[in-house]
Structure 1
Amino acid sequence: MYFVYIIYSSLRNIFYVGSTSDIKSRIEKHNTNHKGFTGKVGDWKLVFQEIYETKDAAIKREKQIKSWKSRKLIMKLVESSAGSEHPDI
């Protein structure tokens, strides 16, 4: 199984879209002090996820979401997911 996920940092007030085969470890990595876009904040929360059978399908969906370049569309996706806990954005 592969996951497309969206995490949110309330400190930076920003979303990050990614894909992985191990979502728990990946979120933990985002919350460590490391170089990179998600480093040094440590408050990333999972606000959305989708499951795919293949890595290619997950990457395709990740790229689709990133191509939107629209906070409004990402927020709509997060808010539309059933039972999701998302920040008050």
Structure 2
Amino acid sequence: MFYVYILKSKVKEWRYVGFTRDLRKRVKEHNSGKSRATKNYKPFDLVSYVAVSDKETALKLERYFKSGSGIAWMNKHLMPEED
């Protein structure tokens, strides 16, 4: 099982989309600063994730979520409403 996940920074208006096999471990790595791409934006909330059966599908979904139409879809369907 692979997970495509969305993190939202608690300190800046910034989101990150990634994929992994071990979701809990990966979120901990992001929050402890072990990821170069996200260390300046930590800590994070795990906003949403999608489980898929194979790596190829996870990569395609991650790429889609980083595209213009994917961001729009993600905002509409996977992001919580803000007050």
Determine the C-alpha separation between the residues in 1 that align with 2:37 and 2:81.
20
Identity %: 28
Q: Pairwise CA RMSD of aligned residues? A: 2.3
TM-score, length of structure 1 as denominator length: 0.77
2:63 counterpart residue number = 63
Q: Which residue of 2 aligns with 1:88?
A: 82
* Map of 1:42 onto structure 2: 42
Aligned length: 83
Q: Which runs of 5+ in 2 are unaligned?
A: none
Aligned 8 A contact 1:30 1:38 in 2: yes
What are the ranges of 5 or more consecutive residues in structure 1 without an aligned counterpart? 80-85
Where 1:50 maps in the other structure, the secondary structure is strand
Give the TM-score, by structure 2 length.
0.82
